[in-house]
Structure 1
Amino acid sequence: MTKIISHEGLEDFQALVDGIRPLTQDKQHFGTPVKSRSELNEQAPKLAVSHYFSDTFQPLLPSDGPMRWRADHADNLVLKRLRRGDYVPDLILDLHGMRQTEAKLELAALIEAAIRESSQCVSVMHGYGTGVLKQQLPLWLAQHPKVLAFHQAPKEWGGDAALLILVDLGEAPFRR
């Protein structure tokens, strides 16, 4: 629908806008700043930790005997092989004296390093201490999609103060 404006209204409008200049663009964009590669590399483990490890998730873990867990898609004999010490850990992580947040970061970094270096078995020493890491570590490991299984380590790898972890390497050939 078109509306016809009288000459008198047009002259009034022309008088109102006379002398007005258009605004110039100052070219300041307020989007998210581009991060450098070093900043992204620093934040990657933190994002992985927040993505994989939740403190509220409670998987079904055994209450009797040694600490152990196996993913649903893992072979039934995996836990037996871990218990007997058939797997030798290629990487060892010592969490003694760390806080939970530091331990989460280190655990995520260990799993990523194991995948990068094709290490099927790794060991994490949590120690005895107050028992906080000993309780939390299995809960975190059961959440990670690349963890096939874990079992309390044999005596030569730390006993009940450590866990042996079997990492899913995907299509890479397995070593024993």
Structure 2
Amino acid sequence: MSEDSDDFALFREQVKVDRRIRSETVQAPRPKRARKPSGSNTPERQQQAEFFFSDTFRAHFPEGPVRYCAEGESSHLLKQLRRGDYPPELFLDLHGMTQAEAKREIAALLHACTKQNIDCCSIMSGHGKGILKENLPHWLVQHPAVRAFHQAPAAHGGNAALLILIR
């Protein structure tokens, strides 16, 4: 029997089995990080959206493609937008949004463009029932960062999108 015990001792020495009990290796709890509010629903952006975009304001647009040029800006900007001389750097798709959501997202887009020094962006409203497509130009006219906008050329969405120049 001593030979067997020597074999077991030799085996244990060679293998060196670690017999830890799992409950003895408890890890310290990790501190939970506080969540930051999401960027699109901050009160500041909601206030901007409500301040800049009134539903009762109606601008007068000439016949033909939807276009607008702010006071003091060259009307040549409209021609450049129509030709696609300004490629959009940011895109916003309003498909499936309510009017309130669309206003918040438009305000966030314009804010992002101003912060990141982006000259041109594109907003696609789609065709659908036409509610957002109809209201979008009236909302954009009210925003002080908008220099001009024009119905997008076919390569950038055609009559379902607008190209917007930002100050």
Superposition TM-score, scaled by structure 1 size: 0.71
Q: Percent identity?
A: 50
**Counterpart AA for 1:81:** Q
Whole-angstrom CA distance in 2 between matches of 1:66 and 1:159:
10
Are 1:77 and 2:64 matched, yes or no? no
Are 1:56 and 2:56 matched, yes or no? yes
SS in 1 for 2:64: coil
TM-superposed CA distance for 1:149, in Å, is 0.5
**Counterpart AA for 1:120:** D
Whole-angstrom CA distance in 1 between matches of 2:129 and 2:38:
34
- Residue of structure 2 in register with 1:151 after alignment: 150
- Residue of structure 2 in register with 1:132 after alignment: 131
TM-superposed CA distance for 1:156, in Å, is 0.6
**Counterpart AA for 1:61:** F
TM-superposed CA distance for 1:79, in Å, is 0.3
SS in 1 for 2:142: coil
Task: Map 1:28-107 onto structure 2 (within 5 A).
Answer: 38=37, 42-62=42-62, 64-107=63-106
Whole-angstrom CA distance in 1 between matches of 2:129 and 2:50:
24
Whole-angstrom CA distance in 1 between matches of 2:100 and 2:42:
15
In angstroms, what is the RMSD of aligned CA positions? 1.6
TM-superposed CA distance for 1:39, in Å, is 9.3
- Structure 1 residue runs without a partner (length 5+): 1-36, 169-176
Whole-angstrom CA distance in 2 between matches of 1:38 and 1:128:
32
TM-superposed CA distance for 1:71, in Å, is 0.4
Q: Deviations over 1:74-117 (max 9, x none)?
A: 11200000000000000000001111000000000000000111
- Kindly tell me the number of residue pairs found equivalent between the two proteins: 131
SS in 2 for 1:106: helix
- Residue of structure 2 in register with 1:122 after alignment: 121
- Deviating beyond 4 angstroms after TM superposition, the runs of 4 or more aligned structure 1 residues are 37-41
TM-superposed CA distance for 1:60, in Å, is 1.9
Whole-angstrom CA distance in 2 between matches of 1:97 and 1:84:
29
Q: Deviations over 1:18-58 (max 9, x none)?
A: xxxxxxxxxxxxxxxxxxx9599810110001111100011
Whole-angstrom CA distance in 1 between matches of 2:106 and 2:123:
8
- Residue of structure 2 in register with 1:166 after alignment: 165
**Counterpart AA for 2:92:** L
- Residue of structure 2 in register with 1:110 after alignment: 109
Kindly indicate which of the two structures has a greater share of residues assigned to helix. Answer: 2
Whole-angstrom CA distance in 1 between matches of 2:150 and 2:70:
12
Whole-angstrom CA distance in 2 between matches of 1:115 and 1:152:
21
Whole-angstrom CA distance in 1 between matches of 2:124 and 2:37:
30
